[in-house]
Amino acid sequence: MALRVARKLAGLVATLLATSFIIFGAAYAAPGDPVTFLAGGKENLTPEYLAAVRAQYHLDDPFSVQYGRWLWDALNGDLGRSFQYNDEVLDLLAARLPTTLGLVAYATVLFVVIGVALGVLAAVRGGRTDSTVVAGTTFATSVPPFVAATALISVFGVQLGWFPVAGGGSFTHLTLPAITLALGAVAIISRVTRQAMVEQRELDHVTVARASGLAERLIVVRHVFRGALGPVVTMCGLVSAGMLAGTVTVETVFGLSGIGSLLVGAINTHDFPVTQAVLLLMVVAYITVTTLVELAQPLIDPRARIERSRA
């Protein structure tokens, strides 16, 4: 068990190192002198300004030293200064992270509750309910979030006026963005839930439970759903981990000032330190969450406890 956790954590660190290297090294892949690129690619830069950039990035050191220093600073919370806002990147992130986390948490609650409920409903009811859920989710996965978002704004924001159209801060401001973010996830989760339940329902031990006179409702809760929990939880974890990246689009559409819209702004203004920091944060969060989900597997499925440690 401990060995397994250690191996997983080692893998986590290795992946994080690899991705941080890609994010850092990207600046050097840009055509032209990295100084010009890092300074925002503008033409009329004073030599003093370029020197300042050169000093901040220690561009005169060898590449590996630069990377090591950047990584060390990042680990210590020093993500550099934004050229655009002339502010510490860490402060920028700290100011905007609550909005994004609130949005992701809101959306996660929505998609877990609705997605699982729809999947269970489809599997248990079958027939027309099932077809409707499957058809609805197929359509939901075909609509890109930004289209769904504009549709939601048109209907609920402008026509009905139930929700504010843009801006952030409050719960109602986050409702439409959270629905948009959750839409595709609901589709995925409900399909995974439905499929897992249908598979579980065919298993012998479910028949055994039925043969022992257990009521159908209890069979669904104690056996079918319990058995389907593994894939469902895994998928919920993966989807919510990917959601941080999804905020890029949703925050832009709704004009929320979170880290997603910060990233878009940073790219459009060639603010590379901010771009690097947001990407790093998103990737770290994604990889950490997916690793945690994997580590949580044995809690759901007791078989994983020994099989893994034997492997």
Considering only residues 224 to 283 of the shown chain, the ones binding another protein according to CB under 8 A are 226-227, 229-231, 234-235, 238, 242, 245-246, 248-249, 252-253, 263-264, 266-268, 272, 275, 279, 282-283
Selection from 22, 168, 152 nearest residue 99 by Cα: 168
Per CB under 8 A, contacts with another protein among 146-185 are: 146-147, 150-151, 153-154, 157-158, 165
- Spatial neighbors of 156 by CB under 8 A, at least 6 apart, are 162, 163, 176
90 neighbors 80 (Cβ within 8 angstroms): no
Among 141, 175, 257, 297, binds another protein (CB under 8 A): 141
Q: How many CB atoms lie within 10 A of CB 59?
A: 18
Instruction: Give the Cα separation of 37 and 83 in Å (integer).
Output: 12
Selection from 52, 111, 127 nearest residue 232 by Cα: 111
Which CB, 5 or 18, lies closer to another protein?
A: 18
For residue 58, is it left (φ>0), alpha (ψ between -120 and 50) or beta?
left
Residue 287 interacts with another protein (CB under 8 A)? yes
Beta bridge partners of 190: none
Please choose, out of 48-56, 81-89, 174-182, 302-310, the segment that lies near another protein by the rule CB under 8 A.
Answer: 302-310
Residue 286 interacts with another protein (CB under 8 A)? yes
241 neighbors 290 (Cβ within 8 angstroms): yes
Place of tokens 């954590």: 9
Residue 130 interacts with another protein (CB under 8 A)? yes
Residue 5 interacts with another protein (CB under 8 A)? no
Among 7, 42, 58, 303, binds another protein (CB under 8 A): 303
Q: How far is the CB of 275 from another protein (least distance, A)?
A: 5
Per CB under 8 A, contacts with another protein among 25-84 are: 26-27, 29-31, 37
Which CB, 27 or 178, lies closer to another protein?
A: 27
- Spatial neighbors of 118 by CB under 8 A, at least 6 apart, are 133, 137, 186, 190, 193, 194
Which CB, 47 or 261, lies closer to another protein?
A: 261
Among 2, 76, 86, 127, binds another protein (CB under 8 A): 127
Q: How far is the CB of 185 from another protein (least distance, A)?
A: 14
Residue 211 interacts with another protein (CB under 8 A)? yes
Which CB, 56 or 252, lies closer to another protein?
A: 252
What does the block give as tokens for 139?
A: 């359509």
